[in-house]
Amino acid sequence: MSKETKKPFRQSMAEWRQFIYNPNSGEFLGRTAKSWGLILLFYLVFYGFLAALFTFTMWVMLQTLSSDIPKYRDRISSPGLMISPKPDTALEFYFNRSDSQSYSEYVTTLQNFLESYNDSKQSQNIECTSGKIFDQSEAAVKKACRFNLSELGQCSGKEDANFGYSKGTPCVLVKMNRVIGLKPEGEPHIQCTPKEEGMVNINYFPPNGAMDLKYFPYYGKSLHAHYLQPLVAVQLAITPNGTKEEIAIECKILGSPNLKNQDERDKFLGRIAFKVLMSE
């Protein structure tokens, strides 16, 4: 039961114009310049205060954080696996063993990746006792353990600069994500299984795909600057059956109860799947 009558269009237009700028009172959008100024000033002060408060809180919070070790590692209790080389699109390797162009990208990536593992780069790194967690929590300066490229055998790039791609035995390096303070239990090792049998034979370097415990734990990039992740090279000796076929391979970390590899959602937690298609 509305008791108001509707205004004609012309009048409401005039009222709008009046609202936007009222020449009589000098009001712009219903306020005078002074009023607008005061409002702007108020919000300037108000937001300035809030921004200062925000900055101060952030600063205080950052003061409480150590720059060496993160406060919590709730979301990364277990590391993910990754491979190198890593094709840009989904993890699928397509190459022709007789066409060096088709795999040069993979080779370059591997070479670049392994550069940091060169002996010259590892001069400061020490030899550690294998098979044992290398706990340095007491030490002020954390040492990094040497990872000898020779452990990668045929995949080290020393013997075969093409990492086996030209021979039909392409190498893929499997590495585990760095997680600060992670101490794997048991004897972690990488095991890769092709989806279908008979298409590929898999060799591991180091043998059994073992990941030595001496490379753990990691102490963070500021304390542990020269740290190098242990690598496991997976050599895929593709049989004539497997040529021209897409071979699906899944690698998992096994042998360690505290490294998960079965997460339903996270397909990279302790495992990785990739495909290889080699033509001749």
Partner 1 sequence: MKRELELDDHKLDVKELEVKYSTSVTKGLSEAEAAQRLLRDGPNELRPPRGTPGCVRFGRQLAGGLQCLMWVAAAICLIAYGVQEGEGDRGSSDNLYLAVALIAVVVVTGCFGYYQEFKSTNIIASFRNLVPQQATVIRAGQVLQVNAAELVLGDLVEIKGGDRVPADIRILAAQGCKVDNSSLTGESEPQTRSPECTHESHLETRNIAFFSTMCLEGTATGLVISTGDRTVIGRIASLASGVGEEKTPIAVEIEHFVDIIAGLAVLFGGTFFTVALVIGYPFLRALVFFMAIVVAYVPEGLLATVTVCLSLTAKRLARRNCVVKNLEAVETLGSTSVICSDKTGTLTQNRMTVAHLWFDGQVHTADTTEDQSGQSFDQSSESWTLLSQVITLCNRAQFKPGQENVPVAQRDVIGDASESALLKFAEVTSGPVAAARGRFPKVAELPFNSTNKFQVRTGEGQVDTGGTGELRWDRWAQVGQVSSLMSPMMSPMSPMTSLMSPMSPTLSPLSPGFCARWLPPGTDTPPEDLAEVAQGLCFAGLVSLIDPPRATVPQAVRKCRTAGIRVRDMGTLGTSGTLGGVGGLGTLGGVPRCAQVCYLCRQARARVVTGSELAAMAPGTLEELLRTHPEMVFARTSPQQKLVIVESCQRLGSIVAVTGDGVNDSPALKKADIGVAMGIAGSDAAKNAADMILLDDNFASIVTGVEQGRLIFDNLKKSIAYTLTKNIPELAPYLIYITASVPLPLGCITILFIELCTDIFPSVSLAYERAESDIMHLRPRDPRRDRLVNEPLAAYSYFQIGVIQSFAGFVDYFVAMAQEGWWPGLVLGLRPRWEDEHEQELQDSYGQQWTFWQRRYQQYTCYTVFFISIEMCQIADVLIRKTRRLSLFQQGPFRNRTLVVAIVFQVCIGCFLCYCPGMPNVFNFMPIRFQWWLVPMPFGLLILVYDEIRKLGVRRHPGSE
Which residues of this chain interact with partner 1, rule CB under 8 A?
1-3, 43, 46-47, 50, 53-54, 57-58, 61-62, 65, 68-76, 79-82, 88-91, 177-180, 218, 220-222, 224, 227, 263, 265-269, 272
Decide: residue 254, CB within 10 A, 0-12 exposed, 13-18 middle, 19+ buried.
Answer: middle
User: Which helix (DSSP H) or strand (DSSP E) does residue 137 occupy?
Assistant: none
Q: Helix or strand or coil: residue 57?
A: helix
Q: Which is nearer to partner 1, 216 or 218 (CB)?
A: 218
* Smallest gap from residue 269 Cβ to partner 1 (A): 6
Q: Which is nearer to partner 1, 97 or 117 (CB)?
A: 117
Q: 135, 236, 245: which is closest to 192 by C-alpha?
A: 236
Q: How far is the CB of 197 from partner 1 (least distance, A)?
A: 25
* Nearer residue to partner 1 within complex by CB, 20 or 69: 69
Q: How far is the CB of 263 from partner 1 (least distance, A)?
A: 7
Considering the complex, what minimum distance in angstroms separates the CB of residue 122 from partner 1?
18
HSE-CB for 90 with a 13 A CA cutoff: 7
| Residue with smaller CB distance to partner 1, 86 or 214 | 86
- What Å distances lie between residue 48 and 59, 135, 261, CA to CA? 16, 48, 49
CB of 4 to partner 1, least distance (A): 9
Bridge partners of residue 210, in order along the sequence:
189
- Torsional class of 199: left (φ above 0), alpha (ψ -120 to 50), beta (otherwise): alpha
| Cα 80 from chain centre | 9
Cβ 19 to partner 1 shortest distance, Å: 12
The residue (of 107 and 228) whose beta carbon lies closer to partner 1 is 228
Closer to partner 1 by Cβ: residue 82 or 237: 82
Q: Alpha-carbon Rg of the chain, whole angstroms?
A: 31
Compute the distance between CA of residue 269 and CA of residue 261 in angstroms, rounded to an integer: 6
